[in-house]
């Protein structure tokens, strides 16, 4: 599946948003990718709430907005908020055409979107039918230049982002003292099992979600300057092709933190693309060694190079972290959601705790971009967190918004606080996993036998010690 990107220029998007108000546009459907038929349109655009159609021909960008759902009820739909529009580079302001009073805005059938005066995907072809005076009045030359052939058709969901909650939906302290406290907690972390020196966390997510950037951001925050140790990018295919384990150091040349962040290939929709499910499970079980080069044709076999047969609890993944781009939550297809569900099922069977990171919150919400402290006041971010929680089956308290360093040259206190808060939760969840690691005889997993003289220094329960 190719990377789906908007055809709108920055100027066109700004002009369109000037008609819609304070909204965030999420691309739902692109005809050149999904198909120029009514069935394709309805497959991606039904029951999506307020949407805006963006049609392209040679010289014009035009379309229609409705605040109502498409549900194929076969009836005329009244919508006082609906309008048609046209955008041209030479015009400072876009053309906006309101509906004729008393007439329905569109007919909600199984055909392409039918606004009477404009019928998109007419006869399941890349073209429109133009009937000025039916529902909307306009001059054809101003609306689309009398050119009925389409070069592209896109549909966006228009989501309001202009509201801030009176009280944050999650409390957080935005102070230098809190940043320092979190940094100290992370640096001084010690796993409950004394023979385990560090927590091992696996980052999993779609291509471009920000997995590698998350490690770079954590590394930057502790090092004291912006770094780029892990390769990150925005290509349509995964930039990461190896399984990599990264250590974070406190300062240049400083001691390594008790944390290993593991990065792997991005998830892709197709079964033959992206990280293989068997490889992912073997990573969780500790069987895949650092720098293993993933094969696009087959998963790593038990007798293959890079397979670790002698696994200890140190090699296993202690916490799985799903990474999702906040601005692309609406673009998660059913195939991608099914892949997440399959991973969740396998990970649950292994008893590994899971967290979900919502990245790029500043890009998703202008209010957060203006002030990162708005992240837990933002109605939009809260909605996206709930949407992810429901669609992926992850409790809301496990969903954490973060901002990675992307175009900055200097560190930021508020960014660090969000990043460190996420890492603290990962360490807490790693402890939960380690507390459940036992031999068949009931004792905690250990690389050396526990001696009675050290019993009081460990957190192993007396029940487990007595079973020895």
* Model confidence, pTM: 0.66
Distance separating alpha carbons of residues 288 and 267, to the nearest angstrom: 18
* Average pLDDT of the residues in 447-459: 34
pLDDT number for residue 273 = 66
pLDDT number for residue 85 = 97
> What's the chain's average pLDDT?
85
pLDDT number for residue 272 = 66
pLDDT number for residue 65 = 97
Q: Which of 248-252, 258-262, 338-342 has the lowest average pLDDT?
A: 248-252
What are 196-233's pLDDT values in tens digits? Answer: 999 999 999 888 888 889 999 999 999 888 887 655 55
Phi, psi at residue 376, to the nearest 5°?
-95, 5
- β-pair type (128-130, 118-120): antiparallel
Q: Which of 40-44, 172-176, 263-267 has the lowest average pLDDT?
A: 263-267
- Shortest CA distance to 390 belongs to which of 422, 423, 429, 356? 356
Q: What domains are there in the chain, each with its CATH number?
A: 10-160 (no CATH), 176-437 (3.40.50.300)
Distance separating alpha carbons of residues 66 and 105, to the nearest angstrom: 8
Residue 336 φ/ψ region, left for φ over 0, alpha for ψ in the -120 to 50 degree band, beta for the rest? alpha
The position carrying tokens 């047969």 is: 309
Phi, psi at residue 163, to the nearest 5°?
-105, 140
Q: Highest-confidence range of 32-41, 205-214, 253-262, 357-366, by mean pLDDT?
A: 32-41
């Amino acid at each position: 599946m190719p990377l789906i990107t908007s055809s709108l220029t920055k100027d066109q998007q700004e002009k369109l948003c000037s008609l819609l108000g304070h909204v965030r546009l999420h691309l739902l459907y692109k005809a050149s990718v999904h198909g120029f038929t009514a069935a394709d349109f309805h497959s991606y655009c039904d029951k999506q709430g307020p949407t805006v159609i963006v049609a392209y021909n040679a010289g014009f960008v035009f379309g229609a907005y409705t605040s109502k759902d498409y549900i194929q009820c076969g009836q005329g739909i009244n919508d006082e908020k609906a309008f048609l529009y046209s955008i041209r580079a030479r015009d400072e302001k876009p053309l906006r055409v309101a509906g004729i009073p008393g007439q329905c805005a569109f007919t909600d059938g199984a055909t392409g979107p039918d606004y009477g005066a404009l019928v998109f995907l007419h006869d399941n072809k890349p073209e429109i039918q133009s009937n000025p005076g039916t529902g909307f009045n306009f001059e054809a030359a101003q609306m689309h230049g009398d050119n009925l052939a389409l070069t592209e058709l896109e549909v966006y969901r228009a989501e309001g982002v202009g509201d801030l909650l009176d009280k944050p939906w999650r409390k957080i302290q935005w102070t230098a003292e809190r940043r320092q406290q979190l940094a100290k907690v992370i640096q001084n972390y010690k796993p409950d099992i004394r023979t385990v020196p560090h927590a091992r966390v696996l980052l999993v997510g779609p291509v471009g979600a920000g997995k590698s950037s998350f490690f770079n951001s954590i590394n930057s925050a502790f090092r004291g300057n912006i770094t780029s140790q892990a390769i990150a990018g925005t290509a349509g295919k995964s930039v990461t092709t190896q399984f990599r384990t990264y250590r974070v150091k406190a300062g240049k040349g400083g001691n390594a933190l008790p944390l290993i962040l593991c990065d792997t290939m991005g998830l892709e929709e197709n079964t033959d693309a992206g990280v293989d499910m068997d490889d992912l499970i073997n990573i969780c079980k500790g069987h895949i060694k650092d720098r293993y080069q993933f094969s696009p044709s087959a998963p790593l076999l038990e007798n293959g190079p890079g397979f670790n047969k002698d696994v200890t609890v140190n090699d296993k993944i202690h916490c799985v972290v799903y990474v999702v781009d906040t601005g692309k939550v609406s673009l998660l297809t059913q195939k991608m959601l099914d892949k997440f569900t399959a991973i969740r099922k396998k990970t649950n069977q292994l008893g590994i705790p899971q967290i979900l990171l919502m990245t790029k919150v500043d890009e998703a919400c202008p209010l957060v971009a203006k002030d990162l402290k708005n992240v837990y006041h933002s109605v939009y971010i809260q909605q996206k967190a709930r949407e992810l929680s429901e669609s992926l089956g992850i409790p809301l308290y496990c969903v954490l918004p973060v901002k990675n360093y992307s175009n900055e040259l200097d560190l930021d206190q508020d960014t660090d606080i969000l990043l460190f808060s996420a890492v603290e939760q990962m360490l807490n969840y790693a402890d939960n996993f380690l507390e459940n690691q036992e031999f068949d005889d009931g004792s905690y997993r250990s690389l050396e036998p526990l001696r009675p003289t050290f019993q009081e220094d460990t957190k192993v329960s007396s029940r487990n010690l007595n079973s020895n």
